[in-house]
Structure 1
Amino acid sequence: MQMKHISNRLDTDKRERIGEILRFGIVGVIAALLQYGVYLIMLLFMSPGIANTVGYIISFIFNFFASTHYTFKVKANAKRGIGFALSHVVNYLLQTVMLLLFIYIGVPKAYAPIPMFCVCVPVNFILVRYFLTKRSKKTF
């Protein structure tokens, strides 16, 4: 009851932004767990970089549909798909660099994705939100 009272005092735009962030968090956790699970399985058969790539591709597919339909509540189309893919190219490159960096500094291969996600998820939110909603002039 208390939370509803607080949320009623927020204007509609701020409530929607908070909702986006919460929905992004839910989708992001599921996508990260999916990617991490695939990474751990693939790590048994291949190098960390390739294992991360396989996990990323599977997570990417889930993430696109969940982000358009659930997080940002927009219709999936080619323009948004291209923008989403571009934002994820940047995110994928950042993830690859961060993963290899954490492994290089001594984080075990099985745990290196955890700090990688801590760095990359906030960057990904900003990029995906921009490309899916094109409301880049507004601040969060």
Structure 2
Amino acid sequence: MDNGNGNQPQQYPHPTAYGTPDASIVVFAGDKDSGRFATPLNKLTDGTPVIIAGMLTEVREHGTIDAPRATLVLTNDFGQAAYAAADTDTLAEYSMCLVDGLEVSLFGIARRPFQGDAELDDPRTNYVQITRVEPLFA
């Protein structure tokens, strides 16, 4: 079907993460006072403020009616991906932005759940605890 001037509309594939996200996605880490820098999420320590952008996939709600939570996968245009989680307050405020296929910027905190445990510590388990969501419009 033509778009009026003879050109065919192009369909571009959505980015796809291959396998389990390993937190190799590049984020902007740090706060505005100390300066932000680009680094892979799996290189950060627990509690580092981050900004990450990409397309949401696998958005799942968990918890109870009184205390819902959500987990999701965020994938950038290079196929790098990471897990992210939203607590009850964040989900209540930004649930309309946490939809499969939507491109967003997530503001949050890098979490490394087993940091300090010699047996379980693995940087591939890093994820982002979401504090704010901003949709990206094309």
**Same fold by TM (over 0.5)?**
no
Structure ranking higher in helix proportion:
1
Range into which the TM-score falls when normalised by the shorter chain: under 0.3
Q: Give 1 or 2: higher strand fraction.
A: 2
